[in-house]
Amino acid sequence: MRLAGKVGVVTGSSRGIGRAIAVALAEKGVRVIVNSRSDRAGGRDVVNEIVAAGGEAVYQEGDVTVEADVDTLLRAAESTFGQIDILVNNAGRTEPSSFESATIEHWQRMLDLNFMSAVLCSRRALKSMPPGGTIINTSSSRGFDANGREGVIAYSAAKSAIHNLTRTLAKQLAPDVRVNAVAPGFVATSYMDRVSEEQKEQWLDIIPLRRFITPEEIARVYVFLAEADFLTGTIVNADAGFTLGRG
């Protein structure tokens, strides 16, 4: 897909990976809808960065776990730019909890944010997505078989569900719409600022390339999938080798 002039919606894009995706798409000429649930300042900063570089972007606040907010978000894209060519379901969050202590509310919150948000946004986006459109989901290396982490079991389960959704929807929507996913490993977002050096060293010890990934590097994978007309049902495991283990 030639990206210049296309319209892209990136959920959860006021910071971190989402911000990098929005900027990277804009650099390719995509007109971008930036979204966050409540970080208005961050979202507007992303828009200002894109516009200052000569791109087009608008900010739309909205909780993508709420169907009415999803409708408002996608309507904003349609009314501003006419249609939706690229949907990046990036919004997500993890909250540590053991299986024994996790409440039903915790499970529902993790499933809503990390899985159902993609379902709601994809279903609504398809109303105005033309043939040749693409959906890109954000998964996690934790979503692969045997890579779930006990302390974030609900998050891991939700990301596994994203894998199944990606592949199943890809079959259903082909050949008109492509559906792929990116499964990042350990990414150097602001979350890392709250992690001890000891914990970082423990993580690095199980990553074959012994390095964390930057949001900008991950964003290049999303751009590739947006452009790659020959790929659908693909989950790109961008994790510096984490899921390989170190023997």
Q: Are 198 and 231 in contact (CB under 8 A)?
A: no
For β-strands 86-89 and 178-184, DSSP reports them as unpaired
Catalytic residue among 59, 155, 191, 222: 155
Tokens of 183: 């499964």
Q: What is the dihedral angle through the alpha carbons of 85, 88, 91, 92, rounded to the nearest 10 degrees?
A: 150
| Cα 171 from Cα 175, distance rounded (Å) | 8
Q: Phi and psi dihedrals of 89, rounded to 5?
A: -85, 85
- Is position 191 annotated as part of the catalytic site? no
| Cα 242 from Cα 229, distance rounded (Å) | 28
Distances (CA, A) of 176 to 119, 170, 226: 18, 10, 14
Q: Active-site residue numbers?
A: 155
